[in-house]
Amino acid sequence: MSRALLIVDVQNDFTEGGALAVAGGDAVASAVSAFLAAHAGDYDVIVASRDWHDASGDNGGHFADDPDFVDTWPAHCVAGTAGAEYDPLLVTDAVTHHVQKGQGVPAYSMFEGATETGDTVGAILTGAGVLTADVVGVATDHCVRASALDAIAHGVQVRILTDLIAGVAPEPSAAALAELAHAGAALVESGAA
C-alpha cells in the first residue's frame, strides 16, 4: 500500500505579499518543509501543485479587473513570474512530481493539472498504487478543498494535516473542513501523521 503527500499551491502569490495572499501562508511553507525534512521517507509519492495561468487573456473568465473573489480573481500565478514560483520557504527537494494547473482555464484541484510530461495526478497515484494521501497547502477553502475532494473521488483515503494548511477566511475554511470530513477525510495534525 503506497502513500502520497499532496502539497497544494504553496506559491508566492498565495503567501504573504502575494496577489492573493493568505495569512499564514509563509508559516505553512516553513512547516511543510520541516515536516518533509522529518517525514519525506514515509511517502512513496510527493506531488506539489502550482497555479500556472496564461499571461494573456482572462484564463477562461478566471481573471477579472473587478473580481468577485468567488468565481473571478485578480491576475495571479502567471506562468514564468515570481508570483507563480514556490514560496522560498518551501523546500521542494523531496517532491517527486511537480504539477501545473490552470493554463488558460480556471482550475482549483491539482487533479486538473499535469506534469511537464503530461502525467495527471490521478495517473501518478494509480501508477504508484497509492491508497492513502495526506493533503497540505493553501488555501483550505479553495484549492486544498478541491484537491482533497478529487482525491477522495479517485478512491484515495485522505487525511488533511490541519496544522499544515491555511485558508482565505475562517468561516469558509471551517465549512470546507466540515465538507471534507463528511466526504470521508480524516482531519489530523501532522504529529499524528
Q: Give the confidence band of 191 by pLDDT, cuts at 50, 70, 90.
A: confident
Ordered by start, the domain boundaries in the chain are: 2-192
**Candidate list 9, 26, 141, 150, residue with the active-site label:** 9
Average pLDDT for residues 117-137, to the nearest whole number?
A: 97
The confidence score (pLDDT) of residue 193 equals 66
Per the residue annotation, which of 13, 87, 143, 150 is the catalytic one?
143
26 catalytic per annotation? no
Average pLDDT over residues 5-14: 98
Cite the DSSP H helix spans in the chain.
25-39, 121-127, 145-153, 170-183
Pick the CATH number of 2-192 from 3.10.450.50, 3.40.718.10, 3.40.50.850, 3.30.379.10: 3.40.50.850
Identify residue 130 by its one-letter amino acid code. V
Q: Is 44 a catalytic residue?
A: no
Which of 13, 101, 134, 141 is the catalytic position? 101
- Tell me, yes or no, if 9 is annotated catalytic: yes
When mean pLDDT is compared across 67-71, 142-146, 179-183, the lowest value belongs to 67-71
Q: What confidence tier does 98 reach under pLDDT thresholds 50, 70, 90?
A: very high
Backbone angles phi, psi at 53, to 5 degrees: -85, 155
**pLDDT value for 192:** 75
Q: What is the mean pLDDT of the chain?
A: 96
pLDDT tens digit string along 132-175?
999 999 999 999 999 999 999 999 999 999 999 999 999 999 99
Is the CA virtual torsion 141, 27, 83, 86 positive or negative?
negative
The H or E element that residue 88 is part of is none
Q: Which strands form 130-138's sheet, in the order they lie side by side?
A: 97-101, 45-51, 2-8, 130-138, 157-166, 186-188
Averaged pLDDT for residues 117-131 = 97
Predicted confidence (pLDDT) per residue in 13-40, tens digit: 999 999 999 999 999 999 999 999 999 9
Predicted pLDDT at 148 = 98
- Asked whether residue 70 carries a pLDDT value surpassing 90, the answer given is no
- E-strand stretches of 27-174: 45-51, 97-101, 130-138, 157-166
pTM listed for this prediction: 0.96
Beta carbons of 67 and 73 less than 8 angstroms apart: yes
CB neighbour list of residue 43: distance below 8 Å, 6 or more residues apart: 3, 4, 5, 134
DSSP state of 59: T
Cα–Cα distance between 156 and 131 in angstroms, integer?
A: 5
Instruction: State yes or no: pLDDT of 45 exceeds 90.
Output: yes
